[in-house]
Chains A and B, each alone.
Chain A
Amino acid sequence: MDGSVTLSAAEEAQWISRAKEGDHAAFEAIYQQYERPIFQFIYRMVGNPEEALDLTQECFVRAYRALPSQRGELNLGGWLRRIAANLCLDTLRRRNRFRWLPWEHRSVHERSADLDNPEHAMLRIELRELIQQVLNEMHPRHRLVLLLREHEGLSTTEIAEILGISQGAVKSLLFRAREEFRTIYSQKEQAKAS
């Protein structure tokens, strides 16, 4: 079911207020809109599809519990990511070691393109593996901020809101995250070369 729905801001506000009043259909419309991006985000953070599925469910259950007590205008996407981010950080904290599973799944689109040039496809896969390993070894908080910025495309302001920190702190975190990524990446490349 590829039935992701796209709601306008006004529609979304309407759904939110109805969901707050206990309208289950309204809440379903909400998770229908956000379940995929949230799953993707969580998957990137934990690297395990089964765990990502569980955490996505948990994320929406928490949202369902907390929605009635939300006051004022709600940035739904940011709010859901915030819940997801906290869930992921909690999960990663509980796991002593972050196990990043190799990416076995590729989109249909990717696969068809790769069919044309198997060699090129092989290289791309290797590079992605490398990047994922780098992400894997990063500090979870650095990984989170980097993913929110580079993968989710969120602004510093949005990230600050999600993480509950100042914009200055986000900039500083981003700088350190990039430095960490670059350092680990070059170490990996050197190791591969030698």
Chain B
Amino acid sequence: MTSRACKSIRPLLSAYMDGELSPDDVARLQAHLAECADCRALLASYERMREQLHQLPTAPVPPTLHHEIRAAIEREQRRPRWLRLSVSPVAFAFALGLILMLLGTLLYAQALPPSIVSSEPAANATWPFYRPVTITFTKPMDEASVASHLRISPAGERERLPISWRGTTLVIGASSEQQASLLPDTIYTIAILHGARDRWGHELQQDWTLTFRTTSAIASAPTATSTPAPTETPAATTPQPSATANTTATPPPAASTATAVPPTAVAAASSPAPANPTPAPQQGHGQSAGSAAAPSPATTAQPPRSSSAGGTGTAGNSVPTSSAGSGTTAPAPAAATPPASPTPTPLSQPTATPSVVPSPTAPAAATPATTPTPQETPAPAATSTPAASPTPTPQPTPVTGAFAQVYWGDQQVQKLLGSPTGLAYTVAASELAFQRGVMLERIDTNTFYILKDDGSWVSLPAPTEQGDPASQAQPNLWIPGGKYGLVWKQQQLLDSIGYATEATPHVMAQGARVQPFEHGILILSDRGFVYMLLESGSWAQFPVSGS
């Protein structure tokens, strides 16, 4: 028989056995079978197979079958409904263990307070001004809470720089919508105050600060200038060369690298609060969008620095002498070393030794050493103070509010300031942030305070004339106008504190709070910082919450 015909027929045999063939196929198959002995034999073997399978003996049913099934069903009925899963117990236990382990680690991690793992740049580094700053936390944070506990100096930067998050990393200077460069050749201090919460409500245990310097926009330009003068690192204990403090404008050559900005003596504050003049949009360059602010700097020639003594003073000078030596009072370690002292530590260690300075309490001593152009009535507050009687009666005068945070929260501060000599009061004031410092104007005493990042401060009588309006020197950097401008030019402050980082002074809508102490004065700016000015000629700033 043709094997080809058989091949096509054989599959039909099986269906034929089952009665599943159409009448046509049945006819075709039967016709083939009539001729083909092989296929007939095959069909016969199929039929035999069926018969044999039919004849297989029925298996004896165990007599316990019914009872065993019933017992199994009853066991099933007793199991809790949610356990009636067709999952093997081993797999179930394994999955349960895994879930518990994950849950455990998660809960444990959640229960820990957050902290900061790292930052870019690291403390005291010199950082390309066009790169955003990143701060990485140990766990996911409550973004709003971190934002409200974030302080950035110079002032105005907190509002200008966009902030965004990448997981647990806070990015300052870039967001998905915009990017804004930092200010070139500027000392930045970024603080995250304790109390910033993670997503589960745990708070950062202590204040964290980061100080670094940005590179210059002009690659070759010598960076860092600062007053040669007072150089009092906050930590420095020595009886301040307050005398030098005034010399403000005579700069020794600058170290072009990282300057030592004692963590404490950070200048300019920035307020978390809005309500202050946005530096940006003004003056043409829309730096808010970051575009203008960006790395174009090179093109815009940086205004010549007043390079008096053939160079620029650096914070470096602040160090050597005074600080390193007499470390009596000040434990503050970093501060003493010249470059790069700042470390993420609470801003609180300035030491100072009493000396003649514009302390409010000591009005008589017309800011001796410190002020370059002293005379007048440099000593502000004291005289004008309403309530507080300048008599140094060590009576318990209350220190409250933001001042209490600073004063009572740090014994070092108490030691430096001595006892309060009067109650806190409010004065009309404004401030203007600079690249490496801040200027404050007190209207009540017609006094300007110049707070430099090298840790020194001086005060001057306010000029009587008005001065030119501000003009833009570079994107986001201004030559200050008005009285600020006059003082800035007169004192040649470009070398020490650089350009203003905002176009117009920030007028404190509610005024500034001031409280006099035996050895200094506290001033609360509404931008979220308390400035501590010591008679010794050094100063420090403290970020505060809820000012």
Q: Is the CB of A171 within 8 A of B15?
A: yes
Q: Are A150 and B72 in contact (CB under 8 A)?
A: no
A110 to B58 CA separation, bound complex (whole angstroms): 10
B65 close to A39 (CB less than 8 A): yes
Task: Say yes or no: A151 contacts B54, CB within 8 Å.
Answer: yes
- Verify A32–B56 contact, CB threshold 8 A: no
For B20, the chain A residues whose CB sits under 8 A away are 156, 171
- The answer, yes or no, to whether A24 is at the interface (CB within 8 Å) is yes
**B72 with A60: CB separation less than 8 A:** yes
The answer to whether A57 and B69 touch across the interface, beta carbons within 8 angstroms, is yes
Contacts A39-B61, A149-B18, A175-B11 given; indicate if A53 touches B56 (C-beta within 8 A): no
B284, CB-defined interface residue at 8 Å: no
Could you tell me if A62 and B86 are in contact, using CB atoms closer than 8 angstroms?
yes
Using Cβ atoms and an 8 Å threshold, which residues of chain B touch A40?
58-59, 61
Cα distance A135–B74 in the bound complex, in angstroms: 35
Q: Does A52 contact B (CB under 8 A)?
A: yes
B456 CB, nearest partner CB in chain A, Å: 82
Q: Is A1 an interface residue (CB 8 A)?
A: yes
Partner of A64 from the list B49, B53, B61, B73 (CB cut-off 8 Å) is B73
Q: How far is the CB of A172 from chain B (nearest CB, A)?
A: 8
A110 to B86, CA, bound (A): 40
Most chain B CB neighbours (cut-off 10 Å) among A107, A147, A178: A178
Q: Is the pair B60, A105 in contact by a Cβ cutoff of 8 Å?
A: yes
Kindly list chain A residues whose C-beta atoms are within 8 Å of the C-beta of B23: none
A24-78 contacts to B, CB under 8 A, are 24, 27-28, 31-32, 35-36, 39-40, 43-44, 49, 52-53, 56-58, 60-62, 64-65
In the complex, B46 has a CB within 8 A of chain A: yes
Q: Mark B74-93, 1 if CB is under 8 A from A, else 0.
A: 00110000001010000000
B28 on interface, CB distance cutoff 8 Å: no
Residue from A35, A49, A151, A182 in contact with B69 in the complex, judged by beta carbons closer than 8 Å: A35
| Chain B contacts for A85, CB-based, 8 A | none
Check B257 for interface membership: any CB of A closer than 8 A.
Answer: no
- Rounded to whole Å, the gap between the CB of B91 and the closest CB of chain A is 15
Contact yes or no, B59 A39, CB < 8 A: yes
Q: Are A103 and B57 in contact (CB under 8 A)?
A: yes
Nearest B residue to A132, CB-CB:
B56
A163 within 8 A of B: no
Say yes or no: A58 contacts B72, CB within 8 Å. yes
Whether B69 and A44, one on each chain, are in contact in the complex, defined by CB atoms closer than 8 angstroms, is: no
Q: What's the Cα separation between A43 and B46 when bound, in Å?
A: 23
Among B42, B63, B73, B76, contact of A1 (Cβ-Cβ < 8 Å): B63
Contact with A along B414-447 (1 / 0, CB 8 A): 0000000000000000000000000000000000
Report the Cα distance A106→B59, complex, angstroms.
7
CB of B376 within 8 Å of the partner chain = no
A15 touches B (CB below 8 Å): no
Q: How near does chain A come to B101, taking the closest CB pair, in angstroms? A: 29
Number of residues from B at the complex interface, CB < 8 A: 37
**With an 8 A cutoff between CB atoms, is B7 at the interface?**
no
- Least Cβ distance of B360 to chain A in Å? 83
Bound-complex Cα distance A45 to B431 (A): 92
**In the complex, A169 has a CB within 8 A of chain B:** no
Instruction: Pick from B49, B58, B65, B76: contact of A178, CB below 8 A.
Output: B49
Residue in chain B with minimal CB distance to A52: B59
- In the bound assembly, the distance between CA atoms of A115 and B52 in angstroms comes to 21
B66-A64 in contact (CB<8A): no
Indicate if the CB atoms of B68 and A57 lie closer than 8 Å: yes
Taking a contact as CB atoms under 8 Å apart, the answer to whether B18 and A65 are in contact is no
B70: CB under 8 A from chain A?
yes
Distance between Cα atoms of A110 and B14 in the complex (Å): 30
With a CB–CB cut-off of 8 A, which chain A residues contact B389? Answer: none
Q: Which residues of A contact B76 (CB under 8 A)?
A: 61, 64-65
Instruction: Determine whether the beta carbon of A146 is less than 8 Å from that of B53.
Output: yes
Q: Which residue of A lies closest to B85 (CB)?
A: A65
- In the complex the two chains form, is A43's CB within 8 Å of B59's CB? yes
* Most chain B C-beta atoms within 10 Å of own C-beta, residue among A3, A36, A124: A36
In the complex formed, the residue of A with least CB distance to B42 is A182
Give the complex CA separation of A52 and B65 in angstroms.
10
CB pair A49 B59 closer than 8 Å: yes
Chain B residues lying within 8 Å of A1, measured Cβ to Cβ, are 63, 66
Known A-B contacts A105-B59, A105-B60; the reply to A185 vs B69 at CB < 8 A is no
B72 close to A57 (CB less than 8 A)? yes
- Taking CB atoms, residues of chain B closer than 8 Å to A62 are 86
Identity of the chain B residue whose Cβ is nearest the Cβ of A150 in the assembled complex: B53
In Å, the complex CA distance between A124 and B52 comes to 10
Assess whether B206 is interfacial by the CB under 8 Å rule.
Answer: no
Q: Give the distance in Å from the alpha carbon of A182 to the alpha carbon of B52 in the complex.
A: 12
Asked if A88 is at the interface (CB within 8 A of a chain B CB), the reply is: no
Complex partner residue of B65 from A53, A110, A174, A181, CB under 8 angstroms: A53
A131 is an interface residue with CB less than 8 A from chain B: yes
What are 27 A-B contacts defined by CB distance under 8 Å? A1-B66, A35-B69, A39-B61, A53-B65, A56-B68, A60-B69, A61-B73, A65-B76, A65-B84, A105-B59, A107-B60, A110-B57, A132-B56, A150-B53, A151-B53, A155-B18, A171-B14, A171-B20, A172-B11, A174-B14, A174-B15, A174-B18, A175-B15, A178-B46, A178-B49, A181-B49, A185-B45
Give A residues with C-beta under 8 Å from B.
1, 3, 24, 27-28, 31-32, 35-36, 39-40, 43-44, 49, 52-53, 56-58, 60-62, 64-65, 103, 105-107, 110, 124, 127-128, 131-132, 146-147, 149-151, 155-156, 171-172, 174-175, 178, 181-182, 185
With A39-B62, A49-B62, A150-B54 known, 15 other A-B pairs at CB within 8 A are A40-B58, A56-B65, A56-B69, A58-B72, A60-B73, A64-B73, A106-B60, A128-B52, A128-B57, A150-B53, A151-B56, A171-B14, A175-B10, A175-B11, A175-B13
